[in-house]
Every structure is written in structure tokens, then in C-alpha cells.
Structure 1
Amino acid sequence: MTRRTTLALTFLTLTLAACGRPSSAPAVTDPQTGTVSVGSSHGDHALAAPGPDRSRLPARAALGPATVRNAARLSTQALPANAQPDVVALKVLILSSGPGDYGLEAARALLAGSGIPFDVLDASRAPLDMAALVAPDGSGRYQGVILTDSALIMDAGDGTYPSALNSAEWDTLFEYERTFRVRQLALYGAPGSVPEDYGLRYVAGAETDTTSLKLNAAGRTVFSDLKGAAIPVSYSYTYPSALQSVPGVSTQVLATDPAGRVLAATSTSADGRERLILTSAQNPYLTHSQLLGRGLAQWLTRGVHLGEHRRFLQVDIDDVFLEGDHLTSDLTFTTPFRMSGSDLLNVRAQQDRVRSNYPAAPDFRYAMMFNGGGANTAVPTLCTDSPWLTRDLLSSVARCLNTQFDWVNHTLDHQRMDVMPLSTATTQIQQNLSVGAKLGLRMSRASLVTGEHSGLGFMDPTDDGTRNDDGTAGPKQDLGLGRSNPNLLSAAVSSGVTYLASDHSVASQWDAQCPTCGVPHPLNPGVFLLPRWPNSVAYHVTTPAEATAFYNSLYAPGGLFPYWDRNLTYAEFLDRESDQALTHILNGTPFPHFMHQPNLRQYAGGKSLATDWVRAALDKYSTYSTLPLNTLRWDDLGRYVQRHTAETKAREAGTLSGRWDRRTNTVRLSSSAGTVPVTLTGASAGAPYGTDRTAQFDLSGTLDVSVTPR
């Protein structure tokens, strides 16, 4: 067997972070990161690699034959006399085999995706005794246990693969699970009889790193949002297995490969413990891990846990009412493009068709990030394509469709706000709101997107604020949020803005420790940042030919940064893009993806690049899942993410907790640090979402809530 290696699959995006008119500024490459900045009159556009780093995709990540060291049972590992086996904390224990444990990141991501608090115990360094599992009052510290692999093996480097737990520690764990009726999830295993038997044996010679997983009826009960489509299992070492009759062990197959061999199963041990094992390695960036994650979390917790798993589809369109660069399919710039009133009417029709064609997206709507300096407020309202009746059909149609989209302030003129006086920043924000009001737009007034996400410290350090309508003299650098423009922040707050868009491709503008959280601005507590995802639909293209020509000029053979072995077709381009979108959706990140107004051009009947992207993402998502996708207006999204962030930080700090008494099916929620928001999945009176019920509370002190376990 080979030494275990980390399964790392990093999906990188083509980042087109701004918009503007043509520029002859050269491309500048950062030799440390490989990130490329392409100049434009409105700023630079960071371009990252178009796909996974192939050097980080190991062909094999195999498990060695596990051995368990013998140890005499210690009296201190016996159950305490005051044990309360019906009472457990709403928290999960992750058991890790130590440094290099490839399953740890996957376990963390699985729980974080549902907001479930957890502890990690490095079994190679810390002992597992009953004190680690049972609280002083006799209640259980954990409602579920995750093993990063079924035997917690370590590579000793001498051809042996000892378990990180000795026999006494395994016995202690099993005794806790049996007594407190705690389920155990093994994220990966080569099924055998060590340290315990699941009633499966891996089929020698069938090992693979590419297969597919298909759920049976029992599997669809566990993974309640998934359909019957085969799920790809790629870049993941897998041990297809067969059932093995074992006295006292009852095994239920959940999923199989194309040959009918077992890839997932639940199993009840001879002493009554409930276990679930997967025979493929997991990684938070792999499709099968993302699709299975929600169901695994629900099974492990019996559907009762702090936090929730919720999915989103938010799409922003920047620069509405302005002209923007237009790159043709022969890679030359032509007359600047401004979407027409006819385009906007068609976008409304496209949006309606998305809602009707995709049950998973019943509330989908675009957010229109508008720049009122390009609008005309002295025009009539028109709901038809009649340009001869108005001086600006786009403004007239916007009046008609004032409630059909979420209209969001993008400043009056899209000026760069890195170095801008307070008075100018205030004018740019407030006058744009005034234009929106004159047009009758239904606006998210508490939200703001600055041009190029400027004013947040990602800037040209030599910028002196004298050329805010032009491109920067030098490339932008991430100087951190501490270099944000305080005038912008003050102007935003005084204008009623709370939620400010940031750029997810800039490291300082999102929280790597909490991928689903927003960021309270460190310089102004009245401003809360919502990161936005870039994508590979370039800001200056309007047709499939233009989109693929630009993309291939970068990443096809002969391009600036060749990656693919051929020019991609538009269908291949959308397939890759929908993979990226699917990753973000399944991870539960509530952040918008952003594109630009040229991407809404009706290039053919009822078609635009932006809606092609949306439909490709929904086609892929709907192939696998029925869980509805949320689309919120920006002000509502901001409130949701702000609340979610406060709750997550309180759980991580240990000031927010839950304790489940299974005799009465009551959860006692507790806050020890003032009033905090709390979400409880499994609440009997909660609002339905998919097959779950969730309830939200503003908690100070304690609150008892009735729950209904699955």
C-alpha cells in the first residue's frame, strides 16, 4: 500500500473583478502567486488559474492494513456513576489520526456546512478516556462521533499502519456510543474486521480513484434531498466492497458502484451501536462529498442540531445604465456596449422561465447593481420595446420593471473610492439613491457595491485620488481592510448603508476561518462586508463566441496561460463554470456571484450569457438535488449573513450551546454572553426547509425547545 497523501482539489476561478473601457495597459504577473492583473481604465482584473492544480491530484490515497495496539482497560475509563445516558450536548466529536490526516478537512467542512459545533481530538497525541466523552454532571459531551477513517490509521513509515487509538481507547469509545446511543460516522474505510466489523469486505483488485455512486431506496431515505442520478466519484481513492455475513451485525447498503459493489452502508453492531461507513475518500472540494454532506450530518445528529444547512443562488449584474468595454470574438475592442431596453425586457422573461423551469429556484431574481449617472429620469414608463417613444428606452423599461429585480446602489458614476473625500463619497452614494427613487425602483437601500469593490484596501498604493475616473497607475495590492477609505465607510453609514460588497478573490475581504460568514469591518462597526464570487464570464463579452474567444486566448494552447489541451467550446466552458457554481451552492455559502451588464445582451432569442450561466448551474444542481435554493434581496441577504455570522462566532467561542434531553425530546439552548441569534434544526414547530424544520430565536439566558428527531 502507498503512503497516505492529502486529497486536495482546489478549484480556482477566473476573476474579473471590475469593468471599464479599453486600455492598452500591459498584463502584470505576480511571480509568487501566478495571479495576473490586466489593466483597464476602471481598474485591473485578477486572473487566476482556470482549473485544479494537477500536481495536487494524487492518483492514489490508499489505506494500509490497520493494526490496533493492545492496552489494558483502565478503571478511569469506566462510565461514571452519575452517567445520564439520555442527555447529550449538541456537539460532534471529530477523531483525527494526527498530522497529515486527509479526512480532517472534509470532516470540518461537513459539519461547518450545517453549522454544527464540533471538537477535534488528535488521537495520535491526546488520550481518549471517559472524561473526554462524559461531562462532570454525567451528561454526554457529544451527540455524534466522526472518524476521519474507520481505523484512524497512521503511516509509521516502516510498512505498518497502527491505529491512533489503542484497544482500551476503542473500547472506551464504543462503550460511550452504546450507553449514550451516539451514532458513529466513518468518512472513509477499507472495510475489514479491525478495529470493528461493519459486515463489509473490500474487494481486492477493485480499488479505483474514479467511479460513480448510485443511491438505492435506503440511501435516498438517508440522503433525503438527493435524486437517483449517479454521482461522480473522481480524484478519490475508493474501496468497492461486498457484504459479509457477521454474527450479530446487521448491514444496510445505501449506495453502490456501477458493478453493484458497496460504496456506503449503515451497520448496527452486535452491541446495538449505529454506524455509517463510506468506502471512498472524502474532500470538501469533491462533488460526491458536497452532495452527501447534508445527509451525513442529518443522519449523524438524528436531524437535531444547532445551526442549519441552507443553499443559495444569488446573481448580481453590475454597471446597469452605464456603457462598458466590448471585446469582439476576434479579440479587438469595438464600440462600448450598453444594454438596451429590449435586453432588459428579455431578462425579465428569462428570469420568469428560470423560475418556471426549475422547481429548485422558485424565487430566483437578478440583483441589478445600478449606476444612476447613466440613467435618464425624465422619461416615461414603457413596458414594450418602443424606442421611438422615449429618449432612453432602458430607463423607461426600468421604470416598468421597477419591482421585478432587486435594485442595488452601485454609486452614481462608478468612480474608484480608494482615496476619495467624504463629501464626494457621500454624493456618489446618496445621489444614486435619488436617481433610483425618481425612477421608482424598489431598492435594497441598506446595501452598497462600490465600483471595483474599491475603498476596501485592495488598491494601487500610489493612488492619490486625483484620477478616480481612470485606471490606476500601478497594479493593485491587497493592503488589508486597515487601508480602507474611512471616508467611504462614514459616507456609507450616514447614508443608511450597512451591507457593503467585498471581493471574495481578495484574501483580506473574506473570513477564511468561517467560509459562510461575512466580515464586520474592523474600522467601522456600522459596516458589514458580504463577499461576492467572481466567475469566468468576462465583464466585456456579450455572445458565446466572444466569451469563449477571450477565455481560450488565456487558457487554450497558445494562450497567455495555457491549461487545457484544446480550445474549449461554449458548451464545455459552461460545463466547467457550472462545476464552480455547484461547488459554491452545495457548500452553503450565501454569497452572490457577480457578472456585468454586457453579459445580459440578448444574443439570440431569449438568451443571454448570464442566464446561460444560471441555467447551466441549475441543470447540474437539479440533476442531483431537490433542496430549494434561496434567492434573497440584498438587504435581506445582508441581515441573514450578519445574523448567521454572529451565531457562528458565538458557537465557536463556546458562549452558545445546546443540551438535548432525549427522554422529553427537549433541547435547552443557552447563551452566556448576552443576546445572540440561534438557529435550531429539528425544532418541532420550526419552519420547513426541504425535509428539515428550523427555528430561529434571539436568545439571552436559556430557552427550552421541543424537537422531533429523525
Structure 2
Amino acid sequence: MNRPTTLALTFLTLTLAACGRPASTPAVSTDDTSSGSVADAGGHGAGGNGAAGHGDHALAAPGPDRSRLPSRAVLGPATVAPGLRVQTLPANVQPNLLALKVLILSSGPSDYGIGTARALLDQSGIPYDVLDASRTPLDTAALIAPDGSGRYQGVILTDSALIMDAGNGTYPSALDSAEWDTLFEYERTFRVRQLALYGAPGSVPEDYGLRYVAGAETATTSLRLNAAGQAVFSDLKGAAIPVTYSYTYPSALQSVPGVSTQVLATDPSGRVLAATSTSADGRERLILTSAQNPYLTHSQLLGRGLAQWLTRGVHLGEHRRFLQVDIDDVFLEGDHLTSALTLTAPFRLSGSDLLNVRTQQDRLRSNYPAAPNFRYALMFNGGGANTAVPTLCTNSPWLTRDLLSSVARCLNTQFDWVNHTLDHQRMDVMPLSTATTQIQQNLSVGTKLGLNMSRASLVTGEHSGLGFMDPTDDGTRNDDGTAGPKQDLGLGRSNPNLLSAAVSSGVTYLASDHSVASQWDAQCPTCGVPHPLNPGVFLVPRWPNSVAYHVTTPDEATAFYNSLYGPGGLFPYWDRNLTYAEFLDRESDQALTHILNGTPFPHFMHQPNLRQYAGGKSLATDWVQAALVKYSTYSKLPLNTLRWDDLGAQVRRHTAEVKASAAGTLSGTWNRSAGTVRLTSSAGTVPVTLSGASSGTLYGTDRAARYDLSGSLDVPVTPR
């Protein structure tokens, strides 16, 4: 029996030092430290590898670079240049026909709002186009198809005036007056809603019936929805939402002839932070007065409701939320780090611990209605199990040679058991026969123990075999640590023997590491990755977090974390050592970020994290509970937990749908007069999800239906 590769602290230090942070994109601002693209705690905001760790021992980075958050995203007074020619709409307009697609209007390459606009739509799978208004004219041909139908069902402005910083103290709009008039006429004629993600409300280029209150600008406040706001953001509760690191223009109502304004949210002083507004010509608009960023809590919490309002709830794709937690290395011994930062005797989960995990899992389901079906996925290594033991459901070690294996027999249906290979060997350089044995014999152990397994799924030891490796590895030391630090050599350096062994063993879904840049799709952050070397293998990325792989108690967890990120640590980030409560608060912020983005990517921890360090408590369950407390404070939507085989199928289906939409082979056209959407696939059978379908499955207050589509299909819809 082999146990997971031991990482000496000196080697871990080298690995940590090798990890970088992604670059950020400058914002339009009077302060060049602002940014519209910020790495989250895993370092994934800009697509880089910001995690600290090694293989399946990765740690999330401590937090975002606060100097790059949009706390100084200042909007100067907008000016609109006169247009040369006002365009008229073509005579053949069909205002009741709209493509199910959204237009994002951007002010240019330094636009700080573009990341939020993309994320808002990506997280629901809504197709969109981006028009850089600083470079591309906006004319009727961009908005109306040759047959007279509308190209877009909604319009997002990254800020209400599409301001550009000219660098000379002026802030011209990226659209001239004729282009604004063309946009407004399109919105009026086709009854298309407009969302301004950020604004300092005034009268240019149009009036929302609001004025920002001079002197009230702030970077830290909170937002509370009123009754009208809760109707728009129907997935949210009434709790105040923190608005931090975000430049905000608290505003007041202003009476404007013909304009009707409905406040949706206010700050603690009653000033307006969000409102809908109907223009004098009948157009519907929604404006936010805080800067947005896809990794800030307020942006993420508001995102789903904004998308639903903009599209009237009828769109391609769907936004669901998930809570997936994997525990690696079950049955094996693993490293154990004490609170004094020394390695001690290896730790192996006990049968008593596993019995208590079931109790903890049941308690989470009972105490948090948001997670009624939560279950851990246990990634097991059968080389550490004993199949010749009786089934035991009690803490009776004298009745068996291995209580953990006996209890696993008893709890065979209580968890999602997933193949983690027989011995946790590194598979970067491994012959086909050995790789096949490692996969298939582990399934055999699971079968003998009677485990209810996700047989089509596999997690390799250290996520090995996928090109994140020591380039000098010759495969002769697969039970030991690598000689040198691992490098991201790309999926092209994956072990083809592993891929072939996986496919021949019935594996379709292979876990990858989201902290490794090549193992997730930066162009489609909600997608999985079809393996480029073997189409039979589909990668599902997993998130690391900051619960280290070798800690079992709160003191151990915080001691190691502070040794890295405390003021005296290797990579100082915090101004003091965090307590365990502060550590969990920080961790739950990042967990909330990942949950709200609507992807089912799992978070992964390790078997020492399930040790019952006190009655009914473990580090892993503390982490889950902290995430659920925070999520339940804000959201009404239930969280889905899928078995790994179903999770893989979900991610693969979503990926195929999004890719088909992006390629233009999957589309939807809304015929509002008929009350139907025509779905069309021009490239064979593809999966499609239609939100707003009248006969769809209810999730929260919204319905969505799924189809496997070939050709065209008309579906009745019920708009919000």
C-alpha cells in the first residue's frame, strides 16, 4: 500500500515560490490602480495560476490584490459629440421578432465593466456579442438583421454613458449623439431593455430621473433591496448586501418630465444604489450606481436577477447553483502537520471519523434548507482498504481488522464514492498496463466493498497525467516526490497511456486542477475541457481552497495558513495572523464567489480535513457550514449537489451548448406575437436549455426546459 506523496515543507516552499499571479486589466479611472479584472482567491480572475501548492495539494491564494479593485473607478462628467447622421430604421422592421442574444456595448480596451458584463451572461449561458464603441460604429445594420428582425433582446452598457478617459481631463462618450439616438430608437421599436452596470446619474446621454449626491461618493457601503427590488431580484432575501472596494455614487430621485423611476435598492442613508426607469419614449432601463467587478459579492449576488430582468426571463441557457465538495485520499495515510509546523506520524481517517462525517452531513442538510441534498464525494484509494472485513455501522474496532473499511461498507450509499486510483501513484509517466491496473483494480476494491461508485469518473493522484509535471520525471519514482518543481507544460504533455487506460476502463470524466492554467478554459470559464489528445476524456476542473491537505484541527489549519500569509509569513498578505473564525470568514467569501458563478466545479480537500477534532466537528464540515451560512443569508435558491457521473454529464452538456451558441450553429428567435421561441440547430444534434419555457422545470421562481435539438423546434414561453 502506498500513501500520498509526502511534501517536505522545504519543497512546498519552493513550489509556493514558483506560483505567480495573473496580470490585471487597467480600468477607465482617474486612479491607475483600479482594475476591472481581479484574480479571486484561487488566482483565477484573469486566467492565471495563482494557487499555492502542488498537484492535488494545491492551496488557494490568500485573496485579491486590493489595489486592483475598482474602489477608485471614478466617472468624470460625460460629454457626447454631435453625430454626423441620424439613421432611420429600415421599412421592413419586424419588432416582434428578436434573436435570443444580448449586446454588450463597451467603451474600449480599458473598459473596467466588460468583465462583469461577460460574467453576468456567461454564468447563465446567455449568448452575446461585444461591440467596442470606441472603434466600431453603431448603426442600424448592427442592430437589425436583413429580414427586419432584431439582432438583440437586451443591451448592456458597461457604464451609463460609455465614458472614455481622453487623458486631458475630459470624458467623452464612446457613442456620438447619432449613435445614441440609433440605439434608443432600436430599443423603443423592439421593446428591448437596457442595463447600465454603473453610472453617476445625471442627464447625459439620457436622464434616469436620478442625480448623484455630491460629496456622498464612497468605496464602502451596503445595499438593501426594497419590495420592488425583491421582485426584480427574486432569488435574493432582504439582507443588506456589502458593497466594498467599489466606487459608488449614492443618488437621489429627480423629477423629470415623462420619466418614471422606481427605486430598487438604497444605502443605509436611503440614497439610491439601483433603480429601474422608464424614459419618456417608453424604454425600460435599469441602472446601478456602484462600480461592478465579477469577483465582488454585490456584483455576483445581483448578477442572476439582472440577467433575468434584462431578458424578461426568456433566454438560452440557465443559471443554477451547486455545492460540490470532494475529499481526496480516503483509505490512505497522509501527511500530518502539527500546529508547531512539524510533520508528525501520518494520519489516516478512522472508522469513527467516517461515522461522524455521516452525522455532520445529515446535520448540514437539516440545518440548511439551501442544501437539502448535500453529500460529500469521497475520492478513495483502494490500496489502503481491507475488503475482507465485516460490515459495521458502529464504533466497534474490536470486531474488525480495519474499522474504516467496515464502516465504509455500512455507509456505501451515503456518499458519492469516486475512483482515485488504487495507490495514488503519480501518472505523468506511466506505462499503459500500470495505469490500467491502477484504475481497474481500484474499481474492483470498490465493488468488493459494495460502494455506490461514480464509475465513469476518475481523479488521478495529484491530478497527474495532465501535463502539470516535473519535465525531468522518467516514471521511475511514481511513489515519491518529484525531483524538481512541477511546471504547466500543457495538456499536450498529458500521458496518453493514462488517457487510453481511462477510456478502456469506462472513464469519461477526469478531474483537473483549476489552479493550473492549461486545465480549464479561460475563454469559457463555466465550461469543462474536452481533452485534445483523446476525445473520450472530458476534464472537469476542481477548485482548491486554503484548508491545507495535511491539517486536522483549527490550530493546525491557521498555523500553516499564517506561516504563509501572515505578517511574518513567506508571502505576507494580511496585517495580522488570522484567527480560525477569520480564516473561515475569508474562506466562505471565496466559496460564495464560486457558488454564485453557477458552475458545478467541485472544491477539493483531503482526508485529514475530515478528522473529528471535536464533537461533531471537522475542518471540512466547518468550511461547508461557513459557506452555507453566508449563502443562506442572501439567497433563496437551493443548491444542487450531483454525483460525479451526473456532474460530468452536466458540465459536458453545458459546454457543448455554449460552444454551439458561440459558433452560431445554435440559436433562438423569440416571436413575441406568437408567444414562442424557435430553437434552431444547424449542425446536428446539440443540447439546448431554454429559460422561460412555459412547461419547463421550476428552479426558484423561474422555469427552464432542456432539449436535444436537431433542426428547429417551436417552444411556448412565459416572459417575466
TM bucket (normalised to shorter chain) is over 0.9
Q: Secondary structure at 1:145's aligned position in 2?
A: strand
1:189: Cα distance to partner? 0.6
Could you tell me which residue of structure 1 aligns to residue 28 of structure 2? none
Could you tell me which residue of structure 2 aligns to residue 14 of structure 1? none
CA distance 1:31–1:516, shift in 2 (3 Å): closer
**Distance (Å, rounded) in 2 between the aligned partners of 1:24 and 1:555:** 15
Check conservation: 2:70, 2:291, Cα contact below 8 A: no
Work out which of the residue numbers 6, 16, 21 in structure 1 matches 2:6.
21
Letter matched to residue 304 of structure 1: V
Work out which of the residue numbers 242, 255, 278 in structure 1 matches 2:252.
242
Could you tell me which residue of structure 2 aligns to residue 7 of structure 1? none
Could you tell me which residue of structure 2 aligns to residue 428 of structure 1? 438
Work out which of the residue numbers 639, 660, 667 in structure 1 matches 2:670.
660
1:414 and 2:421 matched? no
**Distance (Å, rounded) in 2 between the aligned partners of 1:522 and 1:91:** 29
Work out which of the residue numbers 174, 181, 185 in structure 2 matches 1:175.
185
**Distance (Å, rounded) in 2 between the aligned partners of 1:39 and 1:556:** 17
Could you tell me which residue of structure 2 aligns to residue 327 of structure 1? 337
1:54: Cα distance to partner? 3.1
Check conservation: 1:206, 1:240, Cα contact below 8 A: yes
Work out which of the residue numbers 20, 26, 33 in structure 1 matches 2:20.
33
Q: Secondary structure at 2:245's aligned position in 1?
A: strand
Q: Secondary structure at 1:173's aligned position in 2?
A: helix
Check conservation: 2:120, 2:303, Cα contact below 8 A: yes
1:450: Cα distance to partner? 0.4
Q: How does 1:402-551 map to 2 (within 5 A)?
A: 402-551=412-561
Could you tell me which residue of structure 2 aligns to residue 188 of structure 1? 198
Check conservation: 1:39, 1:471, Cα contact below 8 A: no
1:640 and 2:650 matched? yes
**Distance (Å, rounded) in 2 between the aligned partners of 1:24 and 1:68:** 59
Check conservation: 2:4, 2:425, Cα contact below 8 A: no
What 5-or-longer segments of structure 1 have no aligned partner?
1-17
Check conservation: 1:24, 1:39, Cα contact below 8 A: no
Could you tell me which residue of structure 2 aligns to residue 62 of structure 1? 74
What per-residue deviation string (whole Å, max 9, x for no partner) do you get for residues 383-413 of structure 1?
1111111111110110000000000000000
**Distance (Å, rounded) in 2 between the aligned partners of 1:376 and 1:295:** 51
**Distance (Å, rounded) in 2 between the aligned partners of 1:38 and 1:700:** 45
Work out which of the residue numbers 91, 104, 108 in structure 2 matches 1:81.
91
More deviation in 26-35 or 203-212? 26-35
**Distance (Å, rounded) in 1 between the aligned partners of 2:294 and 2:251:** 23
1:152 and 2:162 matched? yes
Letter matched to residue 385 of structure 2: A
Check conservation: 1:511, 1:519, Cα contact below 8 A: yes
Check conservation: 1:339, 1:600, Cα contact below 8 A: yes
Letter matched to residue 61 of structure 1: A
Work out which of the residue numbers 85, 88, 93 in structure 1 matches 2:103.
93
CA distance 1:623–1:92, shift in 2 (3 Å): same
1:375 and 2:362 matched? no
Q: Secondary structure at 1:538's aligned position in 2?
A: coil
Q: Secondary structure at 1:209's aligned position in 2?
A: coil
Q: How many residues align?
A: 689
**Distance (Å, rounded) in 1 between the aligned partners of 2:317 and 2:622:** 33
1:591 and 2:604 matched? no
Superposition RMSD on alpha carbons, in Å?
A: 1.5
Could you tell me which residue of structure 1 aligns to residue 118 of structure 2? 108
1:51 and 2:36 matched? no
Could you tell me which residue of structure 1 aligns to residue 41 of structure 2? none
Q: Secondary structure at 2:334's aligned position in 1?
A: coil
Check conservation: 1:30, 1:36, Cα contact below 8 A: no
**Distance (Å, rounded) in 1 between the aligned partners of 2:686 and 2:113:** 32
1:84: Cα distance to partner? 0.5
Check conservation: 2:57, 2:462, Cα contact below 8 A: no
More deviation in 20-29 or 640-649? 20-29
Q: Secondary structure at 2:246's aligned position in 1?
A: strand
1:68: Cα distance to partner? 1.2
Q: Secondary structure at 1:678's aligned position in 2?
A: strand
Q: Secondary structure at 1:84's aligned position in 2?
A: coil
Could you tell me which residue of structure 2 aligns to residue 260 of structure 1? 270
Check conservation: 2:58, 2:545, Cα contact below 8 A: no
Check conservation: 1:422, 1:491, Cα contact below 8 A: yes
Check conservation: 2:85, 2:178, Cα contact below 8 A: yes
Work out which of the residue numbers 606, 628, 632 in structure 2 matches 1:622.
632
Letter matched to residue 6 of structure 2: R
Q: Secondary structure at 1:177's aligned position in 2?
A: helix
CA distance 1:30–1:536, shift in 2 (3 Å): closer
CA distance 1:625–1:157, shift in 2 (3 Å): same
Identity of aligned residues (%): 87
What per-residue deviation string (whole Å, max 9, x for no partner) do you get for residues 536-568 of structure 1?
001001110111111111111222112111111
Check conservation: 2:57, 2:548, Cα contact below 8 A: no
Could you tell me which residue of structure 1 aligns to residue 149 of structure 2? 139
Q: Secondary structure at 2:706's aligned position in 1?
A: strand
**Distance (Å, rounded) in 2 between the aligned partners of 1:277 and 1:36:** 33
CA distance 1:404–1:32, shift in 2 (3 Å): closer
1:505: Cα distance to partner? 0.6
| Structure-2-length-normalised TM-score | 0.94
**Distance (Å, rounded) in 1 between the aligned partners of 2:684 and 2:157:** 35
Q: Secondary structure at 1:339's aligned position in 2?
A: coil
**Distance (Å, rounded) in 2 between the aligned partners of 1:679 and 1:144:** 19
| Structure-1-length-normalised TM-score | 0.95
Q: Secondary structure at 1:435's aligned position in 2?
A: helix
What per-residue deviation string (whole Å, max 9, x for no partner) do you get for residues 348-387 of structure 1?
0100111111111111000000000000101110111111
1:325: Cα distance to partner? 0.7
Letter matched to residue 23 of structure 1: A
**Distance (Å, rounded) in 2 between the aligned partners of 1:418 and 1:698:** 37
Letter matched to residue 74 of structure 2: A
1:30: Cα distance to partner? 4.8
Could you tell me which residue of structure 2 aligns to residue 684 of structure 1? 694
**Distance (Å, rounded) in 1 between the aligned partners of 2:52 and 2:545:** 16
1:704 and 2:714 matched? yes
**Distance (Å, rounded) in 2 between the aligned partners of 1:46 and 1:410:** 16
Check conservation: 2:61, 2:546, Cα contact below 8 A: no
1:38: Cα distance to partner? 8.7
1:604 and 2:614 matched? yes
Q: Secondary structure at 1:85's aligned position in 2?
A: coil
1:52: Cα distance to partner? 1.6
Q: How does 1:240-319 map to 2 (within 5 A)?
A: 240-319=250-329
Letter matched to residue 478 of structure 2: N
Letter matched to residue 296 of structure 1: L
Letter matched to residue 153 of structure 2: Q
Work out which of the residue numbers 43, 59, 83 in structure 2 matches 1:71.
83
**Distance (Å, rounded) in 1 between the aligned partners of 2:663 and 2:144:** 20
Could you tell me which residue of structure 2 aligns to residue 6 of structure 1? none
1:119 and 2:129 matched? yes
1:24: Cα distance to partner? 6.1
Could you tell me which residue of structure 2 aligns to residue 10 of structure 1? none
**Distance (Å, rounded) in 2 between the aligned partners of 1:48 and 1:358:** 26
Q: Secondary structure at 1:238's aligned position in 2?
A: coil
Check conservation: 1:519, 1:530, Cα contact below 8 A: yes
CA distance 1:206–1:293, shift in 2 (3 Å): same
**Distance (Å, rounded) in 2 between the aligned partners of 1:679 and 1:70:** 43
Could you tell me which residue of structure 2 aligns to residue 357 of structure 1? 367
Check conservation: 2:676, 2:715, Cα contact below 8 A: yes
Q: Secondary structure at 1:208's aligned position in 2?
A: coil
Letter matched to residue 145 of structure 1: V
Letter matched to residue 269 of structure 1: S
Letter matched to residue 546 of structure 2: S
Check conservation: 1:22, 1:333, Cα contact below 8 A: no
